[in-house]
Amino acid sequence: MGLERVAEQRCEVCAGRGIVLRPPFDSVLAAFQDIAAMRPKATPDFDQGYVTPETTVRRLALMAQQGDLMGRDILLLGDDDLTSIAAALSGLPRRICVLDVDERIVRFVRDVAQDQGWDHVHAEVYDVRDELPSHLRGQFDVFFTDPVDTVKGLLLFLSRCTEGVRGPGAAGYFGLSYLEASWRKWRQIQKGILDMGFAITDMQSAFQDYLLEDIVFLDWARIAPVPVKEPDIPFYVSTVYRLEMVEEPRPLFFGWVEFEQNFYYDEEFCGKE
């Protein structure tokens, strides 16, 4: 086919992510792995697919490097990756609030917070179709969300997070994949981000690795004309965006939002649970 292999050019230590876990995050990872091993199993009902524990802690190291962790009030919209628990283990945020539609995740975070004596960690059941509760609007410095990769779904998550931040100067993080999001879709999402009042300050490519047991083997691999083995390396990765609010927040959605199956899956869906 006229293809030539190019030697790997990325850093061998950080795999091009620019983040190596140093104190306190190296010890956070060790403690977090023990806790994460006890969490509920991922379910396709909510398009769950857990990132690796290392990815969860790398998120925090990235946020800390950007000044978005220490002493901050943090909103986590959807937290099956338990970023809240890893953040609490670091001892850096001032307040952590988890909103998740999965009652199992909410109960797990509450139980761990009670066992650890964390009175600054709060978790409640929340369906993103509902408007953001009034007591949470304009209350946070930073948000993190790893939503579905459909345009409407992702922008709805970001819109609810926009309601939750205090205003200009607030920061936000989210993940977006290549496998389930074309460049056309990326452009639509980026336009929505700008319309809400954010600037895109950073994009960390292939930053997040997902656990293989939570990923359905791709349909195209099953119907390939040659045998294709199940992958033995993390193949489902996503880019982490960092946003900063530079204007007054302008959410794209208000009140109740109805959605059907295409909220979770669209024509670019490739089999992620």
Q: What is the pLDDT of residue 271?
A: 46
Q: What is the pLDDT of residue 215?
A: 53
pLDDT score of 160 more than 70: yes
Q: What is the pLDDT of residue 40?
A: 82
pLDDT greater at residue 262 or residue 88: 88
Which residue has 């993390």 as its token pair?
Answer: 234
Q: What is the pLDDT of residue 25?
A: 94
pLDDT score of 48 more than 70: no
- The rounded distance, in Å, linking the Cα atoms of 32 and 8 is 31
Q: What is the pLDDT of residue 9?
A: 84
- The rounded distance, in Å, linking the Cα atoms of 49 and 154 is 16
pLDDT score of 267 more than 70: no
CB–CB of 177/237 below 8 Å? yes
Instruction: Taking residues 81-91, report their average pLDDT.
Output: 97
Q: What is the pLDDT of residue 272?
A: 44
pLDDT score of 222 more than 70: no
Query: What's the CA dihedral at 177, 181, 185, 187 to 10 degrees?
Result: 30
Which residue has 């926009």 as its token pair?
Answer: 162
- Give the list of residues 6+ apart from residue 45 with CB closer than 8 angstroms, or none: none
- The rounded distance, in Å, linking the Cα atoms of 149 and 49 is 12
Q: What residues pair up with 243 in beta bridges, in sequence order? A: 172, 200
Q: What is the pLDDT of residue 99?
A: 98
- The rounded distance, in Å, linking the Cα atoms of 4 and 236 is 24
For residue 264, what pLDDT band results from cuts at 50, 70 and 90? low
What is the per-residue DSSP string for 46-109? GT--PBPHHHHHHHHHHHHHTT-STT-EEEEES-TT-HHHHHHHHT--SEEEEEES-HHHHHHH
- pLDDT, tens digit, for every residue of 23-47? 999 999 999 999 999 988 766 666 6
CB–CB of 29/60 below 8 Å? no
For residue 245, what pLDDT band results from cuts at 50, 70 and 90? very high
pLDDT score of 273 more than 50: no
- The rounded distance, in Å, linking the Cα atoms of 83 and 99 is 12
- The rounded distance, in Å, linking the Cα atoms of 131 and 77 is 13
pLDDT score of 220 more than 70: no
- pTM of the complete model: 0.88
CB–CB of 142/75 below 8 Å? yes
pLDDT score of 269 more than 70: no
Q: What is the pLDDT of residue 8?
A: 80
Fold classification of 25-263 is Rossmann fold (3.40.50)
The token duo for 241 is: 């965006």
CB–CB of 238/208 below 8 Å? yes
Q: What is the pLDDT of residue 265?
A: 61
Min mean pLDDT across 9-23, 153-167, 227-241 is at 227-241
Q: Which amino acid is at 94?
A: R
Q: What is the pLDDT of residue 43?
A: 67
CB–CB of 25/57 below 8 Å? yes
Instruction: Taking residues 237-245, report their average pLDDT.
Output: 95
